[in-house]
């Protein structure tokens, strides 16, 4: 069964550190020109391009977002960007805890939780990214790791009443061309939903997206799993036709 009806279905692109003003104009133009489909679409772009995304996407059916947000409201935090600043650019989505930030910037689950909270307090939907490494999976610790990452965000998950989005992105599947099988992904998504329920969050209203080398060729099989409510898309979000083909699988 593809949907429980209660949950929003999403395809969200993560451009990572890619883009140029000219390239973005073409990509944003092509994606926004396509008719809206069954689910919701979002694009998380680098900070300097938020104004450009806002000017192209305002009034259309595609949301835009950031790839990170500061835990702080304002002050001496050089290089950081606050949730209130993002809101001034019409941002409604913010990734938090992407594995590349956990890995390269040493972000802990507690910091991720504070960032998610800062986003939520500013009216921005946090997209809380969780996922295990290959070593953790091979050691049989995948559920323990993801469970701990969710537990750290318990307060924000409860407070959001189903508005926060969870993205399950096995680290070994991000940008590697390796995708979790639909059965592997569904099993973890079911675990995540059960964990949300156990933590007192609105589990049945929470969108849980899968991320990790999603392509047009595997999107439909993933998105039709009972607990997979769409996808977080990295590389394929940089090509309009690929992103739109994935969106069509919602
Ligand atoms: C991501 O960056 O969140 C991601 C899932 O990347 P990719 O689709 O390229 O694996």
CA-based Rg of the chain, rounded to a whole angstrom? 17
CA 213 to ligand 1 center in whole angstroms = 6
**Alpha carbon nearest to ligand 1 atom 1, residue:** 234
Q: Which of 235, 237, 242, 249 has the most ligand 1 atoms within 8 A of CB, as the residue to mutate?
A: 235
pLDDT for 5 equals: 60
Residue 3 confidence (pLDDT) above 80:
no
Sequential DSSP letters for 118-138? HHHHTT-EEEEEE---HHHHH
Q: Report pLDDT digits (tens) over 153-210.
A: 999 999 999 999 999 999 999 988 888 899 999 999 999 999 999 999 999 999 999 9
For the Cβ of 44 lying below 6 angstroms from any atom of ligand 1, the answer is no
Ligand 1: atom nearest CA of 95 is 3
For the Cβ of 231 lying below 6 angstroms from any atom of ligand 1, the answer is no
For the Cβ of 11 lying below 6 angstroms from any atom of ligand 1, the answer is no
Three-state secondary structure call for residue 81: coil
Sequential DSSP letters for 161-212? TT-SEEEE--GGGTTSS----HHHHHHHHHHHHHHHHHTTS-GGG--EEEES
Average pLDDT, rounded, for the chain: 96
Q: Report pLDDT digits (tens) over 16-39.
A: 999 999 999 999 999 999 988 889
For the Cβ of 233 lying below 6 angstroms from any atom of ligand 1, the answer is yes
CA 222 to ligand 1 center in whole angstroms = 15
Asked whether 93 and 123 are in contact (CB, 8 A), the reply is no
Please identify every residue annotated as catalytic: 98, 169
Q: What percent of the chain has pLDDT over 70?
A: 98
Q: Report pLDDT digits (tens) over 111-164.
A: 999 999 999 999 999 999 999 999 999 999 999 999 999 999 999 999 999 999
Q: Which of 185, 190, 189 is nearest to 173 (CA)?
A: 185
Residue 1 confidence (pLDDT) above 60:
no
Asked whether 145 and 129 are in contact (CB, 8 A), the reply is no
**Alpha carbon nearest to ligand 1 atom 2, residue:** 234
For the Cβ of 175 lying below 6 angstroms from any atom of ligand 1, the answer is yes
**Alpha carbon nearest to ligand 1 atom 4, residue:** 234
pLDDT for 177 equals: 86
| The pTM of the whole model exceeds 0.95 | yes
For the Cβ of 213 lying below 6 angstroms from any atom of ligand 1, the answer is yes
**Alpha carbon nearest to ligand 1 atom 7, residue:** 234
Q: What percent of the chain has pLDDT over 90?
A: 93
Residue range 43-63: mean pLDDT, rounded? 98
Q: Which of 68, 101, 104, 214 has the most ligand 1 atoms within 8 A of CB, as the residue to mutate?
A: 214
Residue 2 confidence (pLDDT) above 70:
no
């Amino acid at each position: 069964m593809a949907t429980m009806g209660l949950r929003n279905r999403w395809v969200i692109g993560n451009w990572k550190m890619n883009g140029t003003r000219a390239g973005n104009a073409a990509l944003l133009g092509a994606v926004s020109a396509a008719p809206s489909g069954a689910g919701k679409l979002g694009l998380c772009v680098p900070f300097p391009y938020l104004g450009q995304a806002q000017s192209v996407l305002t009034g259309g059916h595609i949301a835009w977002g950031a790839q990170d947000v500061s835990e702080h409201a304002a002050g001496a935090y050089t290089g950081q960007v606050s949730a209130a600043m993002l809101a001034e650019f019409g941002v409604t989505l913010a990734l938090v805890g992407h594995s590349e930030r956990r890995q390269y910037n040493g972000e802990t689950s507690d910091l991720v939780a504070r960032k998610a909270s800062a986003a939520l307090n500013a009216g921005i939907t946090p997209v809380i990214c969780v996922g295990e490494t290959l070593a953790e999976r091979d050691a049989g610790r995948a559920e323990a790791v993801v469970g701990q990452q969710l537990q750290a965000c318990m307060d924000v998950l409860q407070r959001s009443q189903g508005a926060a989005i969870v993205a399950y992105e096995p680290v070994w599947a991000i940008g590697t061309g390796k995708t979790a099988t639909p059965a592997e992904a569904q099993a973890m998504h079911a675990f995540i939903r059960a964990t949300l329920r156990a933590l007192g969050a609105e589990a049945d209203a929470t969108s849980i997206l899968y991320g990790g080398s999603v392509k047009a060729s595997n999107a439909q099989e993933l998105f039709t799993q009972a607990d997979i409510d769409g996808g977080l898309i990295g590389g394929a979000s940089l090509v309009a036709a690929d992103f739109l083909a994935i969106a069509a699988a919602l």
